[in-house]
A and B are shown apart, each in its own frame.
Chain A
Amino acid sequence: MLRTEINELLTQTGPGTPMGQLFRRYWQPVLLAEELPGNDCPPVRVKILSERLLAFRDSDGRYGLIDEFCAHRGASLWFGRNEEGGLRCPYHGWKYDVTGQAIEVPSEPETSNFCANVKLQSYPLVKIGDVLWAYLGDPAKRPPLPEWEFITVPEGQAFTSKRLQECNWLQALEGGIDSSHVSFLHSGSLDNDPLFKGSRGNAYNKGDLKPFFEVVDYEGGLLIGARRNAEEGHYYWRVTPWVLPNFTMVPPRGDHPVHGHFWVPIDDENCWAYSFDYHPTRKLTENEVAAMRAGMGVHSANDASYRPLANKDNDYLMDRDAQRRGETYSGIKGIALQDASLQESMGPIVDRTKERLVATDAGIIKARQKLRKAALALTEDGTEPVGNRSVDQKVRSVAIVLPADQSFIDGIGEAMVARPGVGQTTV
């Protein structure tokens, strides 16, 4: 249904592209904090929005995100020595601080001022919660630091993981705002997964395969309501917030921790899924954290480079017997890989001119249109996009049963507002 030029507009995020410029108006997750665990630890390669960068933490614990390549002759600084307040290229000893400023070019005469004039591209990198956030845009337009609830709840109440997804960011995001597939693809996990099972909502989810969608504009993006039949005279609503450009949350189930995702473009054919779980009012239990670390819920079991162990090279460990038995609907284990297997199977950038959308795709249509309008408004008229204000980010997903004659937006009241110390609204 999408015209070719709009598919290109929405999926290309490199420097200079309209969507690339839009993404460069937001703080984005670029690493888990665990990837730079201490002062002078090994630097880490970061590719984001098609830019190749290097993140490191200097002797004083300051974080830096700089051009990966030495200004001298282009060698990768990943091979560098992280020592004594900077990162030194092992080729000829050039040394840079966390701002990308060259602070030593040892081959030059001591009287030389050469290194003062050498500075690599650099971006601010800050730790908030379990995540390192970067801003790659115009410094004059830098928004306030992120305030998402999953990074601002007290210590011990949140868990964040990441995994490589080998397809364009938009088809991953579109899975995140499509509640319709849950009743099929994830139906087995609603019974088995320790982070999902045992809520009343699961029965509604599985009992009504034809959800009705209602999509409402909300502050930084959309609230996407999926309505399913509940007890007589009532509907079960799952309300998924999407905040521009790439934040989504999954409606909660019972007292399980609430989860969501950032879908961060690496380049046009790969993205990182940052997947978080948190509970607004209590610490996560040991069992919950153990399940998350083991790759259950929205998380995945990965190798050291955060690529899932079940991936396209081994057909995601497809188990036809489990599919036949109904243990998993698709034969793939785990919610994250159930999604990733199908989204990656569409190809690196799905050709949306050939898709055939149906009524349950209303949220996807509205989100594409909002993204397109925001990118064009920014690049053609200089209009700053929404998504960076506190009110945009203090948002929550909701699961609720409402009388049949009540619209979800009236019925949820303030339930979609993140309020410290107030529990999630859940069924």
Chain B
Amino acid sequence: MPKVVYVSALGDQSVVIGQVGESVMAAAVRTGVPGIIGECGGNSSCATCHVWVRDEFRDLVGEPGDLEDDLLDLGVSERRDSSRLSCQITLTDELDGLTVDVPAEQP
């Protein structure tokens, strides 16, 4: 089962044992990781599960989808090349150890 590391703006780490097939947002909400809200429940419409994916995982995670890309442009506090909505990243065994930074604020 893939392990996910969420790093807060203050540097605190939350480590979650995820399930293959669930999203990075859902794993965080299920276990109460601070800073990941997931208000719309994973529909790519609220932009409250924004994360920055660490460089070593970016290729594995891939690029944002079309609507997700618009939401990142319009809604999040600081869009970077590594920005993703965590509801749109599905966990696989290959993503074991995935590390993401959580912004200080979600919209």
Q: Interface of A with B (CB < 8 Å)? A: 1-3, 6, 215, 353, 356-359, 361-362, 365-366, 368-369, 372
With A2-B75, A6-B74, A369-B70 already in contact, 16 other A-B pairs whose C-beta atoms are closer than 8 Å: A1-B47, A2-B74, A3-B74, A3-B75, A215-B67, A353-B107, A356-B39, A358-B45, A359-B43, A365-B45, A365-B70, A365-B74, A366-B70, A368-B74, A372-B73, A372-B74
Option from A2, A215, A359, A368 in Cβ contact (under 8 Å) with B40? A359
Q: Which of A1, A2, A353, A359 has the most CB of B within 10 A?
A: A1
Kindly supply a per-residue 1/0 record for chain B positions 43-86, scoring 1 wherever the CB is within 8 Å of any chain A CB and 0 otherwise.
11111000000000000000000010011011111000000000
A365 to B74, CA, bound (A): 8
| Chain B contacts for A356, CB-based, 8 A | 39-40, 46
B45 touches A357 (CB 8 A): yes
Closest to A369 in B: B70
Closest CB pairs A-B (n = 3): A359-B43, A369-B70, A1-B75
A226 to B3, CA, bound (A): 38
| Chain A contacts for B107, CB-based, 8 A | 1, 3, 353
Closest to A353 in B: B107
| Chain A contacts for B67, CB-based, 8 A | 215, 362, 365-366
| Chain A contacts for B74, CB-based, 8 A | 1-3, 6, 365, 368-369, 372
A361 to B40, CA, bound (A): 11
Q: How large is the interface on B (under 10, 10 to 19, 20 to 34, 35 or more residues)?
A: 10 to 19
* Cβ of B68 to closest chain A Cβ, rounded Å: 10
A357 touches B40 (CB 8 A): yes
| Chain B contacts for A357, CB-based, 8 A | 40, 45-46
Mind listing 15 A-B residue pairs with CB under 8 Å?
A1-B71, A1-B74, A1-B107, A2-B75, A3-B76, A3-B77, A356-B39, A357-B45, A358-B43, A359-B40, A362-B67, A365-B71, A366-B67, A372-B73, A372-B74
Q: Interface of B with A (CB < 8 Å)? A: 39-40, 43-47, 67, 70-71, 73-77, 107
* Cβ of B44 to closest chain A Cβ, rounded Å: 8
Q: Which of B40, B67, B70 has the most CB of A within 10 A?
A: B70
| Chain A contacts for B76, CB-based, 8 A | 3
A359 touches B75 (CB 8 A): no
Closest to A364 in B: B45
A365 to B45, CA, bound (A): 8
A361 touches B45 (CB 8 A): yes
A137 to B48, CA, bound (A): 39
Closest to A361 in B: B45
* Cβ of A95 to closest chain B Cβ, rounded Å: 50
A58 to B24, CA, bound (A): 67
A232 to B39, CA, bound (A): 32
| Chain A contacts for B45, CB-based, 8 A | 357-359, 361-362, 365
| Chain B contacts for A365, CB-based, 8 A | 45, 67, 70-71, 74
A1 to B107, CA, bound (A): 6
| Chain B contacts for A1, CB-based, 8 A | 46-47, 71, 74-75, 107
* Cβ of A127 to closest chain B Cβ, rounded Å: 38
| Chain A contacts for B70, CB-based, 8 A | 365-366, 368-369
* Cβ of A287 to closest chain B Cβ, rounded Å: 42
| Chain B contacts for A215, CB-based, 8 A | 67
| Chain A contacts for B39, CB-based, 8 A | 356
A359 to B43, CA, bound (A): 6
| Chain A contacts for B43, CB-based, 8 A | 358-359
A366 to B66, CA, bound (A): 9
| Chain A contacts for B71, CB-based, 8 A | 1, 365
* Cβ of A126 to closest chain B Cβ, rounded Å: 36
* Cβ of A412 to closest chain B Cβ, rounded Å: 20
| Chain B contacts for A353, CB-based, 8 A | 107
A356 to B40, CA, bound (A): 8
* Cβ of B100 to closest chain A Cβ, rounded Å: 20
* Cβ of B37 to closest chain A Cβ, rounded Å: 10
A261 to B44, CA, bound (A): 29
| Chain B contacts for A359, CB-based, 8 A | 40, 43-45
Closest to A217 in B: B66
Q: Which of A3, A215, A353, A356 has the most CB of B within 10 A?
A: A3
A345 to B47, CA, bound (A): 25
* Cβ of B55 to closest chain A Cβ, rounded Å: 25
